[in-house]
Amino acid sequence: FSSGNNNARQLENELDLKLVSFSKLCTSYSSSINRDQRTRDSRSDSGSSQDNMLVAMTTELEQLLANLTAVNDKMAEYTNSPGISSHNAALMHTLQRHRDILQDYTHEFHKTKNNFFSLREREDLLGSVHRDIESYKSSSGVNNRKTELFLKEHEHLRSSDRLIDNAISIAMATKENITFQRGMLKSIQTRVTTLANRFPAINSLIQKINLRKRRDSLILGGVIGICTILLLLYTFH
């Protein structure tokens, strides 16, 4: 079980770094689309390389998640083996923590991947519309009123698309900060739990502190309530 725990931690650290890089690359992909003021065909140069990188990272992250799932499954089999009942509670706590981390990473990966594929599908759709417009203009050779209205509508769609891309970039940046803060809080919580499990005296001290804080809160609330009642009686007397 100790070996599986170490492997799980190593995979979790690697997944954390890869997910941050994956999220930043998706944000860069969205920003590059937003800055591109040329024809949609130009996406085949720089955009194609970013597509390939993102697809490669998607495959790599899927493999890492599969490996972490396999490690967790092996640890689960070990906890169900006979002869380890005395350590079963601590092992189950460790296993559940690894499962929670895996669930969080899987959720973040699918969310970022779906954002990427949505951006790419929307870009491909708008690129197809743009190419149709260019083909129509070149074939007709006449810039009539209908074509002008069509182009204006297309530009309006592109402006809306840029606003959406900006909103997505802000949301992804905010998500990165929240993910980092959540990781820090989980790390602190894990260390505190580990110390409490190793040193029962510390765990008992923490419980006493919490009880005393709760008692002080109740006393303070009671004093405030009595003072409020006395104040009201004095006011309406």
Judged against a pLDDT cut of 80, whether residue 58 lies above it is answered with yes
Question: Which pLDDT does position 127 carry in this prediction?
Answer: 63
The span from the CA of 194 to the CA of 187, in Å, is 11
Judged against a pLDDT cut of 60, whether residue 165 lies above it is answered with yes
Judged against a pLDDT cut of 90, whether residue 37 lies above it is answered with no
The span from the CA of 51 to the CA of 82, in Å, is 49
How far, CA to CA in Å, does 121 sit from each of 59, 118, 137? Answer: 19, 5, 24
The span from the CA of 14 to the CA of 83, in Å, is 33
Joined tokens for residue 111: 């969310």
Cβ within 8 Å of residue 77, ≥6 positions away: none
| Domain extent listing, the chain | 1-36+45-134
Joined tokens for residue 13: 């650290």
Residue-wise burial string across 201-218, b where 16 or more C-beta atoms lie within 10 A, e elsewhere? eeeeeeeeeeeeeeeeee
Contact 190, 97 (CB under 8 A): yes
Question: Which pLDDT does position 40 carry in this prediction?
Answer: 47
Judged against a pLDDT cut of 70, whether residue 117 lies above it is answered with yes
Q: What is the mean pLDDT of residues 35-57?
A: 63
Question: Which pLDDT does position 136 carry in this prediction?
Answer: 60
Q: What is the mean pLDDT of residues 31-41?
A: 54
How far, CA to CA in Å, does 45 sit from each of 162, 190, 234? Answer: 20, 46, 80
Could you tell me where the DSSP H helices lie in 141-199? 145-198
For residue 215, give the amino acid letter.
R
- For residues 40 and 205, which has the higher predicted lDDT (pLDDT)? 205
Joined tokens for residue 48: 């194609």
Q: Which residue has the tokens 């980092």?
A: 180
Q: What is the mean pLDDT of residues 153-172?
A: 78
pTM for the whole structure:
0.49
